[in-house]
């Protein structure tokens, strides 16, 4: 209950990345189990970012407990990354954003393309702020303390691979699309 009501305050935020990972994965798995219990079977599973772990679990790639172990390790890896990065949503298409990033020579990455006019960039917070000031697009910071889905996360990849080596993986029982 501490995660749900930190300090007894129902509006208190959960801001620890490991706890956010745990709560998000648990909620996604619970929702899938609820759908199953109601006879709503999923024919194909799709997951992006943290959501791909619940999708893989629902597809039978690993158990919920193994999934939680990997998700917690992923949260720890992200938490332990230098806290100088951030992310921002850009209300523009990916091609225009990439062109502007290249022209500016910024050390930023396109992290996510959510839709034809919604692109997320990621990188060092100071570079995001400088790029935002000169960008010809509407840019809104996402409040992230880490540069998710960017080259700054590469250092954690070996640890995440190690976490997957410690669990039992099987082929998906249903079609699965993940990033």
Burial (CB count <10 Å: 0-12, 13-18, 19+), residue 76: middle
Burial (CB count <10 Å: 0-12, 13-18, 19+), residue 39: exposed
Question: Which tens digits make up the pLDDT trace of 88-133?
Answer: 999 999 999 999 999 877 789 999 999 999 999 999 999 999 999 9
Q: What is the pTM of this model?
A: 0.85
Question: Which tens digits make up the pLDDT trace of 64-79?
Answer: 999 999 999 999 999 9
pLDDT on residue 83:
82
pLDDT on residue 9:
61
pLDDT on residue 7:
58
Q: Do residues 71 and 50 touch, judged by C-beta distance below 8 A?
A: yes
pLDDT on residue 14:
64
Q: How many CA atoms lie within 13 A of 132 on its CB side?
A: 20
Question: Which tens digits make up the pLDDT trace of 38-55?
Answer: 999 899 999 999 999 999
């Amino acid at each position: 209950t501490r995660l749900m009501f930190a300090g007894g305050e129902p509006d208190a935020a959960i801001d620890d990345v490991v706890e956010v990972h745990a709560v998000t994965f648990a909620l996604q798995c619970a929702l899938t189990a609820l759908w199953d219990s109601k006879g709503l079977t999923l024919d194909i599973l799709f997951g992006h970012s943290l959501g791909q772990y619940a999708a893989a679990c629902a597809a039978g790639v690993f158990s919920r407990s193994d999934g939680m172990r990997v998700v917690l390790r992923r949260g720890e890896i992200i938490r332990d990354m230098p806290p100088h990065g951030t992310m921002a949503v850009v209300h523009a298409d990916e091609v225009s954003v990439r062109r502007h990033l290249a022209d500016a020579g910024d050390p930023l990455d396109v992290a996510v393309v959510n839709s034809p006019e919604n692109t997320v960039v990621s990188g060092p917070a100071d570079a995001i702020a400088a790029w935002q000031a000169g960008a010809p697009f509407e840019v809104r910071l996402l409040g992230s303390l880490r540069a998710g889905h960017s080259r700054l996360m590469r250092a954690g990849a070996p640890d995440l691979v190690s976490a997957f080596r410690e669990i039992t993986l099987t082929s998906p029982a249903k079609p699965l699309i993940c990033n």
